[in-house]
Structure 1
Amino acid sequence: MVRVHDLIELTNVEGFLLKETFPDWVRQSLRELPYVVVRRAPIIDGLIPIGIRGKHRSERCASTISISSIKKIYTPESIDVSNVQTHASHINEALKAIEEMIAEYPLTWGPTGSVGFELITRNPTTHLKSDIDMIIRSDVTLQRTTAETLMNQLSKLPVKVDILLERDEGGYALSEYASGADKLVMRSTEGPKLVTHPMLQLLHDGGKYDDHTGT
């Protein structure tokens, strides 16, 4: 099972490149690094939505692959930030600090975007102005006060950190959840939706929950 943000190593790049007409940069990029990222879109007829990244921010291409095209799947949470590093020292220092912060909570997390791509492929993609994109996967209820505390801690880092709280139904910006908003934008496979987060709905209904965060 693949999920959005997972990085996939392709089995047969040349076979994949024959399936449709791609820009020259796509061919060059995949021949050098046969990796694609799972996009947030529906899986139709067994085809997995993927994105291809080039050397520049303007070089992004959407496509699909079949399960047979997968050689290996790398999840953001499988990245051991203690033992792998980017070539940007400020990113490495920030990742170490984030790891220490997250260790206070039983949360599953991992870097995505250019940082995650570099940590997995070992190909330099970060730079001095790079931010850190990361996800927290949580199917248990994350208390809003915990989200607020975590965002306050992260805001003190010299690097901007953008976090998505990923649940089965979609992804939420942790900063938005921590802000106190009644409605949140949920990033779903059908597109963005303005919804009430499950935690907020529980509070509105007067329900109780187990605090799994230790706060």
Structure 2
Amino acid sequence: MQPHAFRPHDLLFLRLPDRFDAGGAWPDWLDIAWLLRAPLVVRRDVASGSRVPVGARGITRSQRCKGHVQRAAVTRCVTPEMLAHVPVPPDCTLPPLLALAALAPQLDALGVAWGPAGGAGFQLASGLTALRQDSDLDLLVRAPSPLSGQVIDRLLALQQGASCRIDLQVDTGWGGFALAELARGGRVLLKTAHGPLLVADPWRHAEAA
């Protein structure tokens, strides 16, 4: 696993779960038994050396814990792109996973690198319950180059008529933003490792940086 391989939204499984550094005591809901099954989520932050900025999550929205982990403690990395075509169980009734299965062929047809993130990605990667009937479907599109207007329009159209609310995030490689903000016009909130920035063009800002 190369040092540059980990990107925001990637899921990291640990072979040394006790190496998760939260900067202090772990919250009550988090323990080694959980981290042996649940992956950490790579987050946007500045880290030095072999430290990777990550976050642990539990089964409820309130169960979140930021921290870092050494690369040597990671045994497996699962990317959103790897989860794009994980089969949904035939008896599944969760709207986010049903929407994911329905949208996958249309997303593939756009020729973009994409995959489920958030609770859907976490549940597909680990088998642990993270979604509810009213959960959103978080989708990630990797776009180091600007998306064409046609692709943006088609991505936005996919959000209409879905069986749940869809939160579509775009990762430029330098930062991430919500596609819906770009569609509204004006400046976009770009989340970077150095903090959030309001920019007119998220791709042009990355080139300048």
Match of 2:128 among 100, 123, 131: 123
Letter paired with 1:115: A
Aligned pair in 2 of structure 1 residues 43, 14: CA closer, same or farther (>3 Å)? Answer: closer
Aligned pair in 2 of structure 1 residues 81, 74: CA closer, same or farther (>3 Å)? Answer: same
Q: Percent identity?
A: 26
- Worse-matched range after superposition: 128-137 or 151-160: 151-160
Aligned pair in 2 of structure 1 residues 36, 112: CA closer, same or farther (>3 Å)? Answer: same
Alignment of 1:16-27 (within 5 A): 16=20, 20-27=24-31
Cα deviation digits, residues 143-169 of structure 1 (max 9, x gap): 134212321232221210001110122
Q: CA deviation at 1:184?
A: 1.2
Q: Is the 8 A contact 1:107 1:137 kept in 2?
A: yes
Does 1:50 find its partner at 2:39?
no
User: What is the SS of the residue equivalent to 2:109?
Assistant: coil
Aligned pair in 2 of structure 1 residues 143, 8: CA closer, same or farther (>3 Å)? Answer: same
Partner of 1:187: 191
Alignment of 1:54-203 (within 5 A): 54-85=58-89, 87-179=92-184, 181-197=185-201
Aligned pair in 2 of structure 1 residues 28, 71: CA closer, same or farther (>3 Å)? Answer: closer
Aligned pair in 2 of structure 1 residues 101, 65: CA closer, same or farther (>3 Å)? Answer: same
CA distance in 2, matches of 1:199, 1:34: 33
Q: Structure 1: which 5+ runs fail to align?
A: 202-215
CA distance in 2, matches of 1:73, 1:146: 28
Cα deviation digits, residues 115-142 of structure 1 (max 9, x gap): 1000000112111111101100012220
Q: Structure 2: which 5+ runs fail to align?
A: none
Letter paired with 1:72: R
Aligned residues: 200
CA distance in 2, matches of 1:146, 1:31: 38
Q: CA deviation at 1:5?
A: 0.4
TM normalised by structure 1 equals 0.83
Letter paired with 2:62: S
CA distance in 1, matches of 2:178, 2:11: 21
- Worse-matched range after superposition: 89-98 or 63-72: 89-98
Larger radius of gyration: 1
